[in-house]
Chains A and B, each alone.
Chain A
């Protein structure tokens, strides 16, 4: 089973709202990733967690706050977002960080009004 699940599938939020995206995998992977994808563009890496510790933050604004409560779960907390943050947010996981194959979830499509 190479499944990564993400909830919710769609999210609409105002600029003053606080919301969270959730990602889960049960493949025993120890690396998890958040990507942001705008229309007609490739995914852009936001964060990498390795063994539940944040190892890479690609200079993401603090209105995005990741959290890895355990090895199977990854959250992305959203607060005071801007309309330009509207995008598809993809979660991925791999056995370890780096060369291993990354498996992607279906994404959460976020619209900020």
Chain B
């Protein structure tokens, strides 16, 4: 079975500061990893994904994530956040023909 752990339920940061949202997964086989963002009262939007190849993945809105197989991590980073980045962020994993498993989510709170 696969599982996802998002270590922080909330991350408060000031505008223009860098941020890292942590995600660790467990699986005995190769996985595919995703980060989704959910703005208030909206659906989920795909930020970025890792399927194979380069371990550094760039996504929309200036976000990037690095797949680290030895540490089973897929942390999300942004060098400078905006107020508009305030949202819930979900890390998710799938093993191939299995269903998508979500982490519990991290609320990013950006203040001026």
Kindly state the separation between the CA atoms of A99 and B27 in the bound complex, as whole angstroms: 14
For the complex formed, measure the closest distance between the CB of B40 and the CB atoms of chain A, giving whole angstroms: 11
For the complex formed, measure the closest distance between the CB of A74 and the CB atoms of chain B, giving whole angstroms: 14
Kindly state the separation between the CA atoms of A107 and B67 in the bound complex, as whole angstroms: 30
Most buried by A among B32, B51, B90, B102: B102
Contacts of A42 in B (CB 8 A): 90, 102-105
Binary CB contact string for chain A from 3 to 20 against chain B (1 if under 8 A, 0 otherwise): 010100000000000000
- Contact among B46, B98, B104, B105 for A101, CB-based, below 8 A: B46
Kindly state the separation between the CA atoms of A10 and B43 in the bound complex, as whole angstroms: 13
Size range of the chain A interface in the assembly:
20 to 34
For the complex formed, measure the closest distance between the CB of A20 and the CB atoms of chain B, giving whole angstroms: 19
For the complex formed, measure the closest distance between the CB of B108 and the CB atoms of chain A, giving whole angstroms: 14
- Check A97 against B44 for contact (C-beta < 8 Å): no
Binary CB contact string for chain B from 78 to 112 against chain A (1 if under 8 A, 0 otherwise): 00000000000010001111111011110000000
> Quick one: closest A residue to B31, CB to CB?
A99
- Check A107 against B42 for contact (C-beta < 8 Å): yes
Contacting residues of chain A (1-40) with chain B, CB-CB under 8 angstroms: 2, 4, 6, 40
Q: CB of A48 within 8 A of chain B?
A: yes
Q: CB of A105 within 8 A of chain B?
A: yes
Kindly state the separation between the CA atoms of A9 and B63 in the bound complex, as whole angstroms: 29
Beyond A42-B90, A99-B51, whether A104 also contacts B43 by CB under 8 A is yes
> Quick one: closest A residue to B34, CB to CB?
A101
Q: CB of A72 within 8 A of chain B?
A: no
Kindly state the separation between the CA atoms of A106 and B105 in the bound complex, as whole angstroms: 18
- Residues of chain B touching chain A, judged by Cβ–Cβ distance below 8 Å, are 32, 34, 36, 41-46, 49, 51, 90, 94-100, 102-105
Which 10 A-B pairs give the minimum distances between C-beta atoms? A42-B102, A98-B97, A104-B44, A106-B43, A104-B43, A107-B43, A99-B96, A99-B32, A105-B43, A45-B99
